[in-house]
Amino acid sequence: MTADSIDIGYVAKLARLALTDEEIEIFGRQLGDLLGHVNALAELDTASVPATAQVVESRNVVRDDEPRPCLDREIVLSQAPQRQGGFFRVPRIISE
Amino acid sequence: MSGAYEAVIGIECHVELRTRTKMFCGCVNEFGGEPNTKVCPVCLGMPGALPVPNSKALEHMVTAGLAFGAEVPAFSKFDRKNYFYPDMPKDYQISQYDMPLVVGGSVKYWLEDGTVRECRLTRIHLEEDTGKSTHAGSGDGRIAGSAYSLVDFNRAGVPLMECVSEPELRSAADAVAFLESLRRTLLALGVSDVKMEEGSLRCDANVSIRPAGSSDLGTKTEIKNMNSFRSVERAIESEIARQIEVVTTGGRVLQETRGWDEVKGVTHSMRSKEEAHDYRYFPDPDLVPLEVSRDDVDRLRASLPALPWERFNRYTHEYALGPKQATQLIDNPSLGAYFDRVVAASGNPQQSSNFVLGELSRLANETNTAVADSSVSPEHVAELIALVEGRRVNSKIAKELLTRMWQGAGSPGEIVEREGLAQTSDPAAIERFVDDVLAANPAVVAEYRAGKTNVMGFLVGQVMKASHGKADPALVNELVRKKLC
Amino acid sequence: MSGSGSIEWSAKQIAAAVRARELSAAEVIEETLAHVDAVEGVVGSYLTVLHDHARAQAEKVDGRIRTGEALPLAGVPIAVKDNMCLDGTRTTCGSKILERWVAPYTATAVARMLDAGAIPVGKANCDEFAMGSSCENSALGVTRNPYDTSRVPGGSSGGSAAAVAAYEAAIGLGSDTGGSIREPGAFCNLVGFKPTYGRVSRYGLIAFASSLDQIGPLTRTVEDAALAYDAMGGYDPMDATSIDRPLETTADALRDDLKGLRVGIVREFDTQALGTDLDALYRAAYADLERLGAELVEVSLPTADYGVATYYLIAPAECSSNLARFDGVRYGLRVEGDDVRAMYDKTRAAGFGPEVKRRILIGTYALSSGYYDAYYVRAQKARTLVARDFDRAFAQCDLIASPAASCPAFVFGAKSDPYSMYLMDYYTIPMALAGLPALSVPCGWVTPQWGSVPMPIGLQLAAPLFAERLLLGSAHAYERATRHAAARKPALERAGS
């Protein structure tokens, strides 16, 4: 995996970040540097090592099917960048 | 369908589970309501809020898996499916990627003619539903051409079961029968309301065609926007026809998502699958793995109700009912249970179905009361069946008795006793009626003797009438025939 | 300074006085707020000072005291890192994207502190979304190190650290993902304590990296850290990753010596590389541990060197997903666009600072199709190896001692290259990856090169999972015997008025 193989435009698109040309250049370089460092992990023999997702082992943490109070709608919508009636309003959705 | 091609169909359906609360928070799980009133920090994806799984939803999943004869792996986990959409609060969906709660299994279903088939399931996994967007400004509520959208998060976080079938269905009728069986099963289990009109059952179909008898898979399209079983059937039929048309005119079917247009009755291209999504699945670090214990599996297995396909088998094979009658009983749970009790008490399934699906259902319709809620108990019906079997009453009287019982007159034996309705099986008494009738209708008798044997029914009817319906019809027949010779 | 002088008291002293009704919570808060108003212009610990909220809360606490409630943190002023929700108050994460967001609920850890009688004085500055080691990544304010205002307070919990160091609060709540409590603790002459992962609820802590984030206290004494932990810790049904087993209290486990304990010194953490001054200081610290009765043993953490690389895949991957929700739909900043996609792109471009963008990009990349196994899964496997290293080490020792940071607080702008900033967490990341409880405790003073005043240095102690009693108890013994923290006071008067 070489540093310059990062398609920063593709990654930015996935992450929904509009980047300037300058940012693409700078972040591309910085991410390349970082990947150069993290590629050191390839030195570790991890073939037979299990992956750790959670460090403290725990299982089946669930809750009972008991209702709890909901938030007041005015509080919810008071934070909305744009609302219309009881709804959140967003610009038109272009289906992909 | 053109004989040269056969269709290969797979179904993906999303089923909202019936729980009191949402999948990962304590907000109520109810259809509808004022927008954005059934929300909390968790299901709104507020900063800092964390999901905690609903144990009831997990139980429903295992129950469904067992009902479909699937494997419930000992280990399962939740993953995040990352993509941006305005009605998805966290911009990722908590779902299951490579370790679903349920693997394999199958749906056994039957067609109208009673043919029983089976379609295997790939997997069933658990995820959370999204909110709902209403598209405004396009005039027709559609997303295309809309100016803006309004979002309601009441549905966000409702537990959603995704059920994926293998591509083993061969026709639109197959697909609908599959869905109907799936729906009946989930209803019987009580794990979902499975209402397409409320969106608690939503399905997509993957459709492809191939030369009949081939084992290759053709390029498939994914059909969306089907809002009823009827539209599933029409959409699949239309899509199969379209694909055959494309192929036979030298074209190529493109892999794409197509939407069903209910009004025009055609599917139309929605988007190309070429822009594959990169969902970046990874284990959700906010949740810990699930281990379904064998004890829980055994407990849930033991509590499974009689499943629709098992009942269908029993009704059609053991009880020799027709597929339509069997389906009617399965689709009306209280009537089906009532019927089962009548059969258990009477040991006569055929007569039970005659009464339950015939006279009793007619009375139920007339009075707008469910059979099970009427004053006729299954035991009374069984008693009546015994009276008929013992030729104590004939079927005409039996019908009258049912009406009286419906009106609250009590046990059929008592009514018969009280009102002297017992069938007359005394040959001497019947013979007197026969003689009177023949004597009163010489012209008819002459017609019969001249070879017009179909007047026999009239004469029998007259005898029955004379006996106030109490004469044993078999005996009347026998005596009339004898006297006419 | 006027009044009772309570601002310099420990949390324990304040709570005792308020419980004994020698002093009211209201009086404590008035003194604290007056001091905050006087020094904030210099230090800049807080993004929001909660004058009204604090006064109302103080009144409630005084009411509860009058009814005879024995509140362990009665009247104790606390600084809450601004990535923790407090109902009805602005909660920004140091980010423009949440600059005006008012939380509609309270984080469990904060609620438990309030329940114990603590009073939130303000929401403390931090690196944006807790990503950074200097507080310089805050988009909303500059926080200075109270011991030398030309220097950073550390990060990401820099505001909480500066507030406690400058007597603007007795306890600071911080969050530690790779070292974000321990490093600012070391930079600000404080005890900075990260409990075992899952010991303190994350509910209401705005996530950076969910499998690593952990709330903990920054305090002027070990005993105060223990009091805060005892109040905050324990299972929370709202956090599925919080550990469902009884909390072992720590305030009653403080020790006077380290007799019978084996303290591991990590072979790979060669302090000579840190320069003569720091090398000498850490050698002296280790000798002090020995003098207190501990047996020093050499242990090896062969994978520790890969800690930073492992961390800078796992944490960004989780962050890329956690921060997706900041999309301009339901709350926070929105920059309008022609369609929803353009709105997302512009909102996030305008709302996030460069460090957050860098981590979102690297994390998105590490999870993307074709790279997931090579980066994310490999890092998760390396994480297993790091944890196994500690398992082996703790078979030979009870505690591990090491530097908390590789240098004292540096001047603003000194670490302009991202990777050099990432290396600030070299000593603290391995413990975070393994989920271990760890803390930094003051162990001396060093005048940095080009510096004018001595700056505090921290010793890191780490313990096995759930060994909080041993960890805090031992740190107390060390603190009590050495008293490094008390050697100097913050330079507020000189820098301020």
pLDDT recorded at residue B479: 87
pLDDT at C494 over 50: no
Least confident window among B257-266, B317-326, B469-478, C26-35? B469-478
Q: Which of C196, C345, C422 sits opposite A17 (nearest CB)?
A: C345
The yes-or-no verdict on residue A4 having pLDDT over 80 is no
Please indicate whether residue C180 is annotated as part of the active site. yes
Residue B421 has pLDDT above 80, yes or no: no
Among A64-73, B466-475, C449-458, top mean pLDDT goes to: A64-73
CA–CA distance, A7 with B42 (Å, rounded to integer)? 34
CA distance B286 to chain A (A): 9
State residue A81's pLDDT score.
97
B398 Cβ contact list (under 8 Å, min separation 6): B355, B359, B384, B387, B388, B412
pLDDT at B471 over 90: no
pLDDT at B216: 86
Whether B245 contacts B267, CB under 8 Å: no
Cβ count within 10 A of residue B128: 25
* pLDDT band, residue A96 (cuts 50/70/90): low
* Yes or no, beta carbons of B48 and C205 under 8 Å apart: yes
Which pair of tokens denotes residue C423?
A: 């290396």
pLDDT digits (tens, 9 = 90+) for B24-37: 999 999 999 999 99
Pick the catalytic residue from C95, C133, C180, C242: C180
Instruction: Indicate the burial class of B366 (C-beta count within 10 angstroms; 0-12, 13-18, 19 or more).
Output: exposed
* Most C CBs within 10 Å, among B79, B286, B288, to test the C interface: B286
All partners of chain A with 3 or more CB pairs under 8 angstroms: B, C
Amino acid at B167: P
Give the A window 39-58 contacts with C, CB below 8 Å. 39-44, 46, 49-56, 58
Residue B1 has pLDDT above 80, yes or no: no
Q: Residue B42: pLDDT above 90? A: yes
When pLDDT is cut at 50, 70 and 90, the band that residue C468 belongs to is very high
Q: How many residues does chain B have?
A: 485
Cβ distance C362 to A55 less than 8 Å, yes or no, reads no
Q: Is C160 a catalytic residue?
A: no
pLDDT band at B451 (very low <50, low <70, confident <90, very high): confident
Contacts of C202 in chain B (CB under 8 A): 48, 50
Q: What is the H or E stretch that residue C78 is in?
A: strand C77-81
- Given a contact cutoff of 8 angstroms between Cβ atoms, the answer to whether C291 and C480 are in contact is no
A7/B contact by beta carbon, under 8 A: no
Which candidate in C95, C133, C156, C211 is catalytic? C156
The pLDDT, as a whole number, for residue A1 is 42
- Phi, psi (rounded to 5 degrees) for B227: -105, 5
**Which chains pack against C, by 3+ Cβ pairs within 8 A?**
A, B
In the prediction, which pLDDT does B484 show? 82
Judge: C334–A16 Cβ closer than 8 Å, yes or no: no
Q: Which of residues 57-96 of A touch C (CB under 8 A)?
A: 58, 61-63, 71, 75-76, 78-82, 88, 90-94
Look over chain B and give the mean of its residue pLDDT values, rounded to a whole number: 92
Over residues B402-412, mean pLDDT: 90
By mean pLDDT, which of B138-142, C190-194, C271-275, C351-355 is the weakest? Answer: B138-142
**Res. A85 pLDDT band, cuts 50 70 90:** very high
CA distances in angstroms from B390 to B377, B402, B417, B477, listed in the order given = 20, 17, 15, 18
Q: Which of A11, A30, A76 shows the shortest C-beta gap to C365?
A: A11
Mutate to test the interface with B, among A76, A82, A83, A94 (most CBs of B within 10 A): A76
The string of pLDDT tens digits covering residues C271-321 is 999 999 999 999 999 999 999 999 999 999 999 999 999 999 999 999 999
- pLDDT for residue C180: 98
What are the two backbone dihedrals, phi and then psi, of residue B147, each rounded to the nearest 5 degrees? -95, -30
For the packed helices B55-67 and B172-189, what is the interaxial angle rounded to 10 degrees?
130
Residues from chain A that touch B85, judged by Cβ atoms under 8 A, are 93
Residues in B touching C85 (Cβ below 8 Å): 47-48
Query: Does the interface predicted TM-score (ipTM) exceed 0.90?
Result: yes
Q: Is the pLDDT of residue B281 over 60?
A: yes
pLDDT band at C60 (very low <50, low <70, confident <90, very high): very high
| pLDDT of amino acid B274 | 43
Confidence of residue A5 (pLDDT cuts 50, 70, 90): low
- Who among C85, C237, C344 is closest to B48 (CB)? C85
Cα distance between residue C81 and residue C494, in whole Å: 27
pLDDT of residue A6: 81
Contact A37 C336 (CB under 8 A): no
| In the predicted structure, residue B126 carries a pLDDT above the cut 80 | yes
Q: How confident is the model at residue A3 (pLDDT cuts 50, 70, 90)?
A: very low
- Between C238 and B474, name the one with better pLDDT: C238
pLDDT beyond 90 at C89: yes
- What percent of chain C has a predicted confidence (pLDDT) above 70? 98
| Catalytic-role residue among C81, C123, C194, C415 | C81
Among A60, A73, A92, beta carbon nearest to B147 = A92
From the list C194, C282, C195, the residue with the least C-alpha distance to C243 is: C195
Confidence of residue C132 (pLDDT cuts 50, 70, 90): very high
pTM summary value: 0.92
User: Which pLDDT does position A95 carry in this prediction?
Assistant: 66
Percent of chain B with pLDDT over 90: 74
Which of B218-232, B277-291, B413-427 comes out lowest in average pLDDT? B413-427
Whether the per-residue pLDDT at C382 is higher than 80: the answer is yes
pLDDT band at C495 (very low <50, low <70, confident <90, very high): very low
Residue B456: which pLDDT band, with cuts at 50, 70 and 90? Answer: confident
What backbone torsions phi and psi does residue A79 show, to the nearest 5 degrees?
A: -95, -5
In 3D space, the residue among C413, C416, C444, C439 whose CA is nearest the CA of residue C274 turns out to be C444
Q: How far is B282 from chain C (nearest CA, A)?
A: 7
Report pLDDT for B478: 86
Chain A, 33 to 92: residues with Cβ < 8 Å from chain B are 53-54, 58-71, 73, 76-77, 84-92
B444-469: average pLDDT: 87
Each residue's pLDDT tens digit, C189-233:
999 999 999 999 999 999 999 999 999 999 999 999 999 999 999
Active site (annotated) includes residue C96: no
Which one of B132, B288, B297 makes the best mutation probe of the A interface by having the most chain A beta carbons within 10 Å? Answer: B288
pLDDT tens column, C90-102: 999 999 999 999 9
Residue C215: left if φ>0, alpha if ψ -120 to 50, beta else—which one? Answer: beta
Inform me whether the pLDDT recorded for C244 exceeds 60: yes
**Using CA atoms, how far apart are residues C137 and C156, in angstroms rounded to an integer?**
8
Query: Which residue in chain C is spatially nearest to A89 when comparing CA positions?
Result: C329
Please say if the pLDDT value at position B272 is more than 60: no
**pLDDT for C493:** 62
Read off the tokens for C3: 């009044």
Collect all residues of chain C within an 8 Å Cβ-Cβ radius of residue A50: 381, 384
